[in-house]
C-alpha cells in the first residue's frame, strides 16, 4: 500500500469505526432493557400528585395476574386483569409506553373502569415483570397481544367486546396490531400519540436530540436490530399496518408533541380507510393529552365509544 493510499485509508477507517461504535451505543440506549421506569419529562412533573393517586388506586383494587409462556422464564409475559363488577361484557387492553409498565397506565385503567370495562394491563417484552433483553417498539409485542385477546375471550366468553388502547409506544403497538387478522370480538381501537414508523421516529430523534445524521447511523442500527431482534427498522410501520385495518379507530395526539411529532398523527390517520377520528389536543406535549384535561379526555373517548363501540 503506497503512502498516499494509506493516508486516505486510515481516516476513513477511523470514521467507520466511530460510526459502528456510536450505532452500538445508540442501539443499547434505545433498545436495551432497563429495570426501572425513567423519570418523566419536566413538563409533566406537575402532575405527580395526581399520577400517584392513580397508582394507589391500581395497587388497592382487586386484580388477578395473567401469564403467557408462564413456564418459560426467557419468554414469560405478565399482565394484570381487573374485573369490573358492573360486568357489561366489555374489556379494554391497555398498552403502555416506552420503558413504562402496566402500573404507569393506572390513570387510563381507572378511566375505563369507570366506563364499565374490565381491564387487562400487560407488561410488554423487556418491561416490568415480563421477560426479554430488548425493547422491540411494539413490532413483536403486537403478536403477543393476539394471545392476550384469546385469553380474554377464553375467560369471558365469545360475546365479549374488546377495545384496544395504547399511548406512545403503546399507541403504535395497537396501530400495528390493527393490521393483523383479529377476532371479531375486537370492536375498536384508540391510539394516543403513536409513531408512524420506528425508522421515521429514530431518524427524527437522531436529528433533534442527538444532532446526528441519518447516514450511516440508521442503516447500522437497523443491521444490529436485524441481528438481535430479527427485523430491520423498515419492517416496523404503523402506517403500513393501518392500511389493512378495518376497525373504527380514534387517533389522539398532542399539538405540542416534540417527541413524536404531530405530523405522524396525520400520517397514521391518512393510512387507514376504516371509520376514523382524529383529535389534536392543541396545547398538550407528548403523552400529556389525558393530563392536560382528564374530564375532556374521558368525554372524547366516551363519544367515540358511543358511536363505534356498541
- Structural domain contains residue 69: yes
Given a contact cutoff of 8 angstroms between Cβ atoms, the answer to whether 159 and 183 are in contact is: no
- Structural domain contains residue 125: yes
| Alpha carbon 296 to chain centroid, angstroms | 22
Which residues form the domain of 84?
42-197+236-308
- Structural domain contains residue 217: no
- Structural domain contains residue 7: no
- Structural domain contains residue 23: no
Q: Note the pTM of the prediction, 2 decimals.
A: 0.94
The DSSP result for 205-244, as a single string, is HHHHTS---STTHHHHHHHHHHHHHS--GGG-BHHHHHTT
DSSP 197: B
How many folded domains does the chain comprise?
1
- Structural domain contains residue 262: yes
The domain that contains 275 carries what CATH number? 3.40.50.1820
Distance (Å, whole) CA 226 – CA 139: 12
Closest-CA residue to 23 (of 277, 173, 170, 213): 213
Given a contact cutoff of 8 angstroms between Cβ atoms, the answer to whether 176 and 146 are in contact is: no
- Structural domain contains residue 24: no
- Structural domain contains residue 219: no
- Name the helix (H) or strand (E) containing 158: none
Per-residue pLDDT of the chain (310 residues; tens, 9 = 90+): 454 543 434 343 444 677 889 999 999 999 999 999 999 888 899 999 999 999 999 999 999 999 999 999 999 999 999 999 998 999 999 999 999 999 999 999 999 999 999 999 999 999 999 999 999 999 999 999 999 999 999 999 999 999 999 999 999 999 999 999 999 999 999 999 999 999 999 999 999 988 889 999 999 999 999 999 999 999 999 999 999 999 999 999 999 999 999 999 999 999 999 999 999 999 999 999 999 999 999 999 999 999 999 7
DSSP lists the bridge partners of residue 237 as 197
Q: Are strands 77-82 and 118-123 parallel, antiparallel or unpaired?
A: antiparallel
Amino acid at each position: 500500500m503506497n503512502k498516499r493510499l494509506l493516508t486516505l485509508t486510515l481516516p476513513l477507517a477511523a470514521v467507520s469505526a466511530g460510526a459502528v461504535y456510536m450505532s452500538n451505543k445508540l442501539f443499547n440506549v434505545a433498545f436495551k432493557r432497563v429495570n426501572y421506569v425513567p423519570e418523566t419529562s419536566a413538563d409533566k412533573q406537575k402532575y405527580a400528585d395526581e399520577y400517584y393517586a392513580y397508582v394507589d388506586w391500581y395497587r388497592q383494587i382487586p386484580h388477578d395476574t395473567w401469564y403467557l409462556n408462564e413456564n418459560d422464564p426467557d419468554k414469560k409475559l405478565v399482565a394484570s386483569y381487573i374485573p369490573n363488577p358492573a360486568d357489561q361484557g366489555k374489556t379494554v387492553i391497555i398498552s403502555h409506553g416506552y420503558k413504562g409498565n402496566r402500573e404507569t397506565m393506572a390513570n387510563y385503567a381507572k378511566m375505563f373502569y369507570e366506563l364499565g370495562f374490565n381491564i387487562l394491563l400487560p407488561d410488554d417484552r423487556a418491561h416490568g415483570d415480563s421477560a426479554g433483553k430488548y425493547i422491540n417498539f411494539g413490532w413483536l409485542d403486537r403478536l403477543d397481544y393476539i394471545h392476550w385477546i384469546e385469553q380474554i375471550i377464553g375467560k369471558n366468553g365469545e360475546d365479549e367486546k374488546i377495545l384496544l388502547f395504547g399511548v406512545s409506544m403503546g399507541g403504535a403497538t395497537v396501530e400495528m396490531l390493527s393490521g393483523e387478522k383479529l377476532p371479531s370480538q375486537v370492536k375498536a381501537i384508540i391510539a394516543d400519540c403513536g409513531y408512524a414508523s420506528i425508522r421515521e421516529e429514530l431518524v427524527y430523534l437522531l436529528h433533534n436530540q442527538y444532532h446526528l445524521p441519518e447516514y450511516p447511523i440508521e442503516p447500522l442500527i437497523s443491521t444490529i436490530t436485524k441481528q438481535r431482534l430479527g427485523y430491520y427498522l423498515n419492517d416496523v410501520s404503523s402506517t403500513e399496518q393501518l392500511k389493512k385495518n378495518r376497525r373504527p379507530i380514534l387517533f389522539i395526539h398532542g399539538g405540542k408533541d416534540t417527541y413524536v411529532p404531530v405530523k405522524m398523527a396525520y400520517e397514521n390517520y391518512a393510512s387507514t380507510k376504516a371509520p376514523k377520528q382524529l383529535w389534536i389536543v392543541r396545547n398538550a406535549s407528548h403523552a400529556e393529552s389525558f393530563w392536560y384535561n382528564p374530564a375532556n379526555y374521558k368525554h372524547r373517548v366516551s363519544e367515540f365509544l358511543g358511536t363505534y363501540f356498541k
